Amino acid sequence: MIEHIVLFQFKPDASPESLSAVVTRLRELKGKIPQILALSCGENFCDRAQGFTHGLVARFQDSASLQAYQDHPAHQEVVQTLIKPIAINILAMDYEIPEDGQ
């Protein structure tokens, strides 16, 4: 399995409505993209985030499923219309989870 982690740093003047829309629309991807096994998204409350205000964690069966998610029109729409216009920095990483889950 693949764990996909994304951290977002948004512009200081991004409206609360815009930020709420990003979280809502990212969460809705779970019902629109069948390759997503699990997805969570939310606002950071930790004081060690180095300016990253929101995060997403998603799980996929394999790298082909991750790529299908990244290419999916619903994902691309959220990224292009909601995230990119207000993002300062986006940090992503993917790693493989061993079959035993450890």
Count of structural domains within the chain: 1
Classified as helix, coil or strand, 78 is helix
Range of the domain at 86: 2-96
Q: What CATH number did the domain enclosing 48 receive?
A: 3.30.70.100
For residue 43, is it within any domain?
yes
For residue 101, is it within any domain?
no
Cα–Cα distance, 55 to 76 (Å, whole number): 17
For residue 66, is it within any domain?
yes
How does DSSP assign 44-77, residue by residue?
---TTSTT--EEEEEEESSHHHHHHHHH-HHHHH
- pLDDT for 11: 97
Low-confidence ranges of the chain (pLDDT < 50): none
- pLDDT for 101: 64
- pLDDT for 49: 84
Q: What residues contact residue 26 under an 8 Å CB cut-off, 6+ apart?
A: 39, 41, 56, 78
Q: What pTM does this model have?
A: 0.91
For residue 40, is it within any domain?
yes
For residue 102, is it within any domain?
no
With b for 16 or more beta-carbon neighbours within 10 A and e for fewer, the 4-26 pattern comes to bebbbbbeeebeeeebebbbebb
- pLDDT for 17: 97
For residue 11, is it within any domain?
yes
For residue 8, is it within any domain?
yes
